[in-house]
Structure 1
Amino acid sequence: MTITQAPSAPLVAVVGATGRQGGSVIKALADSEKPYRIRGFTRDATKPAAKELVKLGVEIVVISLVIENKDNVYKAFAGADAAFLVTNYVEHFDADREIAEGKLLIDAVKASGAMRVIWSGGEPASQISGGKYVHLYHWDSKALVTQYGRASGIPFVEVQAAHYAQNGPAPRMTLRPSKQDDGSFLVCWPMKPTTVIPVLDVVHDYGLFVRQVLEAPVFPNGSTVAAYGEKIALGDMVAQFAEITGKKCVFQQISIEEFQSEVRAFVPPHFVLAMADVSQYLEEYGHMAGHTPTSPELLARRPRTWAEFAKIQDWSSLFA
Structure 2
Amino acid sequence: MSKLITIFGATGNQGGSVINSILTDPQLSNEFKIRGVTRDATKKSAQDLANRGVELVTVKIPSHLPKVADLNSIDSLTAAIKGSDTVFLVTNYWEILDPNVEYAQGKNVADICKALGVSHLIFSSLSDVQKGSKGLLTHLPHFDSKVRVEGYIRDSGIGCSFILAGYYMSNFKKELKRAEDGSYQVSFPVGKHAKFPLFDAAQDTGLFVKAILKHAGELKNKQILAATTYYTPEEIVEIISRVSGKKTAFIQISNEQYMAPLPPGVGQELVETHLCLEDPGYYLGEPLEPSLNLLDSKPTPFERFVENNFSTWE
**What TM-score, normalized by structure 2, do the two folds share?**
0.92
* Secondary structure of 1:273 counterpart: helix
Take 2:178 and 2:70, find their aligned partners in 1: how far apart are those partners? 41
How far residue 297 of structure 1 moved from its aligned partner, in angstroms, is 4.5
Q: Report if the CA contact (8 A) 2:87-2:118 is conserved.
A: yes
Q: Structure 2: how far apart are the matches of 1:311 and 1:85?
A: 30
Give the 5 Å matches for 1:260-271. Answer: 260-263=259-262, 267=263, 269-271=264-266
Question: Is this contact kept in 2: 1:24–1:206, CA < 8 A?
Answer: yes
Match of 1:55 among 40, 51, 58: 51
Q: SS where residue 283 of structure 1 aligns?
A: coil
Structure 1 residue 129: Cα displacement: 1.5
> Of residues 138, 145, 149 in structure 2, which corresponds to 1:141?
145
Deviation at 1:278, TM superposition (A): 1.6
Partner of 1:253: 252
Specify the code of the residue in structure 2 equivalent to 1:123. S
1:165 aligns with 2:165: no
Deviation of 1:109 (Å): 1.5
- In structure 1, the residue matched to 2:303 is 307
Are the counterparts in 1 of residues 129 and 282 from structure 2 also a CA contact under 8 Å?
no
Alignment correspondent of 1:238: 237
- 1:13-56 C-alpha deviation (Å, 9 max, x unpaired): 00000000000111111122221100000001122111111011
Deviates more, 1:27-36 or 1:78-87: 27-36
Tell me if 1:32 matches 2:36.
no
Aligned identity (percent) is 33
2:136 corresponds to: 132
Partner amino acid, structure 1, of 2:22: L
Residues 164-202 of structure 1, C-alpha deviation per residue, up to 9 Å, x if partnerless? 111112xxx3xx211122111111111112211100111
Question: Aligned equivalents of 2:72 and 2:216: distance in 1?
Answer: 38
Output aligned runs, 1:20-99, within 5 Å.
Answer: 20-34=13-27, 35=30, 36-64=32-60, 65-66=69-70, 68-99=72-103
- 1:141 and 1:306 map into 2 onto residues whose CA distance is 29
Please state whether the residue corresponding to 2:249 is helix, strand or coil.
strand
Q: Which residue of 2 aligns with 1:220?
A: 219
Asked whether 1:184 is paired with 2:183, we answer yes
Q: CA RMSD in A?
A: 1.5
Runs of 5+ in structure 1 lacking a partner? 1-7
2:313 aligned with 1:318: yes
| Contact 2:122 2:160 (C-alpha < 8 Å) held by counterparts | yes
Kindly provide the amino acid, as one letter, of the partner of residue 284 in structure 1.
D
**Runs ≥4 in structure 1, deviation > 4 angstroms?**
none
Match of residue 283 from structure 1: 278
Unmatched 5+ stretches in structure 2: 61-68
Shift of 1:251: 0.7
CA contact (8 A) 1:70 1:104 kept: yes
Offset at 1:66? 3.0
Aligned residue number for residue 200 of structure 1: 199
* Contact 1:224-1:291 at 8 Å conserved across structures: no
Count residues in correspondence: 302
Give yes or no for contact 2:6–2:36 (8 Å, CA) kept in 1. yes
